[in-house]
Structure 1
Amino acid sequence: MNAIAQLLTGLADASIRVVDLTNPLSSATPTLRLPEPFANLIDFSLETVSEYNEPGPFWKHANIHTGEHIGTHLDAPVHWVSGREGKDVAQIEPARLVGPAVVLDFAAEATADPDFLLTREHVLEWEAQHGGLPENGWLLYRTGWDQYSQDQEAFLNADETGSHTPGISAECALWLATERKISGIGVETVGIDAGRGAELDPPFPVHYHLLGNDKYGITSLQNLKQLPTTGATIVVSPLPIVGGTASPARVFALVQA
């Protein structure tokens, strides 16, 4: 039996399970709030055009209004100044969007300190125990933040000093972007950088280093606790928006049941 047939058989007999890693998208989905003078994207909304009535008696359909970086979404290199000559979301090769996924679980640390930063040493310790990060794979960074995914205030966790959400140190971001052959990083928070990422050097280092090195970021992931530490396969499905800096995405993981 070839590999495709094995996959289809596994899906049919439920020996392979599909885990949805996507935060449902609605007008209530928590979104990033940038401070003045920076401009914010519009939130997601649906505008009903017809609903089995005179404008469309046999159908219901709507217009979508949304910013690119809303809900679970994929950041493309062109989103950041360091990747401005890089790919838009439509130019990312499909093969880069499907691959092995590993979960680095630091939920306990993030619970104790919402400003917790993943360091290079953390990843090296993980690799010593589980093996190297997979080529063309995705590092999924579990912090337990998906528990706040339907609560705007808790999700951003902001006070007078700014947002307090876990992230990745500047040194680790550079190292992952240049020394590991991953396709990208997935997080449970509203953005791929820490809430206090503007205070690091460079500001927002995960955006700067990752997108500047033809790697990608996924935000607002869910259900990472349902995945094994290693052995899952991720499927990232953004809209191929020509010129797009990002796209809302449906993200799945295939795991052995």
Structure 2
Amino acid sequence: MVDLSHKLDTGIPHWAGFRPATRTVLYDYPTDGFLAEEYCHVGQWGTHVDPPGHFFPQGRRLDDIEPKEMILPLAVIDVHEQAAADPDYSVTVDDIRRWEKKHGPIPPGGFVALRTDWSQRWPDQEKMLNRDANGVMHYPAGRWTPCAICTKSEESPHRATKPPTPAPARPSAPRTIPTSPTSWEKTATR
């Protein structure tokens, strides 16, 4: 097992649309004899899962997903060289085909992750967001080109994909999240 998460803390990189997390000591050893802390953050903080209900009101919410559904065969498509050359890189059908030529078909019901090496910028918020002079963020958001996501959904339906970055969408790239609950159910944890 490989831990791909980062330490959860109040100062970790996060999408600018969310307030920073807070941590408050409610009880402490000197006065109370024990330590209890209160954490306040949005659900999409740190390493997390976006269930279909994050994008579609009728989609399944995280508490509707059984833990056993979260243990999946993993396929990691390495696009770190492309991401280094183009911070707005999106995975393509050709990337998937190269991976499958080397490793075989992506397992049905699998989790498809991307290796972009963007995590090497962690925990620096500004390096992670990579803003240009106009404030536009540039990073490989794990957004699949529409052809890539549709190709994989039809050929080998997978349950989950994961972008390696702190924001739900990159303003410099077109939104390529599937537009209906049916297509999302094919491409996200279901």
In structure 2, the CA distance between the partners of 1:196 and 1:179, relative to structure 1 (3 Å rule), is farther
TM-score by length of 1: 0.65
| 1:183–1:215 Cα contact (<8 Å) kept | yes
Following the alignment from structure 2 to structure 1, what is the Cα–Cα distance between the partners of residues 26 and 135? 42
In structure 2, the CA distance between the partners of 1:154 and 1:195, relative to structure 1 (3 Å rule), is farther
Q: Partner residue of 2:188?
A: 216
| 2:157–2:187 Cα contact (<8 Å) kept | no
TM-score by length of 2: 0.86
Matched, 1:124 2:93: no
Following the alignment from structure 1 to structure 2, what is the Cα–Cα distance between the partners of residues 191 and 59? 36
Number of aligned residue pairs: 185
Q: Partner residue of 1:64?
A: 39
Runs of 5+ unmatched residues, structure 2? none
| 1:165–1:195 Cα contact (<8 Å) kept | no
Following the alignment from structure 2 to structure 1, what is the Cα–Cα distance between the partners of residues 52 and 154? 14
Q: Partner residue of 1:206?
A: 177
Q: Partner residue of 2:145?
A: 169
Following the alignment from structure 1 to structure 2, what is the Cα–Cα distance between the partners of residues 190 and 49? 29
Q: Which amino acid aligns with 1:170?
A: P
Following the alignment from structure 1 to structure 2, what is the Cα–Cα distance between the partners of residues 111 and 45? 33
In structure 2, the CA distance between the partners of 1:130 and 1:64, relative to structure 1 (3 Å rule), is same
Q: Which amino acid aligns with 2:114?
A: Y
Q: Partner residue of 2:52?
A: 77
In structure 2, the CA distance between the partners of 1:161 and 1:207, relative to structure 1 (3 Å rule), is farther
After superposition, the C-alpha distances for 1:211-251 in whole angstroms (9 at most, x for unaligned) are 7225437xxxxxxxxxxxxxxxxxxxxxxxxxxxxxxxxxx
Q: Partner residue of 1:4?
A: none
Give the Å deviation of 1:207.
6.1
Give the Å deviation of 1:120.
1.3
After superposition, the C-alpha distances for 1:7-35 in whole angstroms (9 at most, x for unaligned) are xxxxxxxxxxx3211011111100012xx
After superposition, the C-alpha distances for 1:156-191 in whole angstroms (9 at most, x for unaligned) are 111216111013223223333444321101232124
Matched, 1:32 2:9: no
% identical equivalent positions: 25
Give the Å deviation of 1:127.
1.1
Runs of 5+ unmatched residues, structure 1? 1-17, 34-39, 218-257
In structure 2, the CA distance between the partners of 1:132 and 1:74, relative to structure 1 (3 Å rule), is same
**Alignment of structure 1 residues 1-257 onto 2, 5 Å:** 18-33=1-16, 40-54=17-31, 57-80=32-55, 83-159=56-132, 160=134, 162-166=136-140, 167=142, 168-191=144-167, 193-194=169-170, 196-197=172-173, 200=174, 203=175, 205-206=176-177, 208=179, 212-213=184-185, 215-216=187-188
| 1:104–1:126 Cα contact (<8 Å) kept | yes
Q: Partner residue of 1:241?
A: none
